[in-house]
Amino acid sequence: LYSMSYLEDAVEAYMRAMQDFSAPATEQFEIYKNLGNILLRLGDADGAEEFYNKAYTINPDSDVLFVNYASLYVYRGDYNKALQRFRQAIQLNDKNDKAWVGLAMIHREF
């Protein structure tokens, strides 16, 4: 559902999956991260941040998650925080294309 952009249905499915949350940490991380992505697309920045924070507690070294945080800050118009998060993503993985593109976009804004 998530990959097919059925966002509301994906949120419902993820919420049902979390009711019996005995999944491995890697799966929990993906669920939290994906829920954050969905909520950001739906315009719920606070909800997105809440789920990104939950994902962060499981894997604080995810370059992908830092790109997601940066996108959240771009959405909010906080380009300084977005810049910091894109840089953190690149420090973790200098081959993260989305982080490099995001960094370029932020520098263009400045």
pLDDT per residue over 23-52, tens digit each? 788 888 998 999 999 999 999 999 999 999
Closest CA to 66 of 105, 33, 27: 33
* pLDDT of amino acid 93: 98
- Annotate 29-60 with b (16+ C-beta within 10 A) or e (fewer): bbbbbbbbbbbbeeeeeebbbebbebbbebbe
Q: Measure the CA–CA gap between 17 and 71, rounded to whole angstroms.
A: 26
pLDDT score recorded for residue 12: 84
Q: What is the pLDDT of residue 22?
A: 76
Cα 34 from Cα 30, distance rounded (Å): 6
Residues of the chain under the 50 pLDDT cut = none
State residue 16's pLDDT score.
Answer: 80
* The predicted structure's pLDDT at residue 81: 97
Q: What is the pLDDT of residue 17?
A: 77
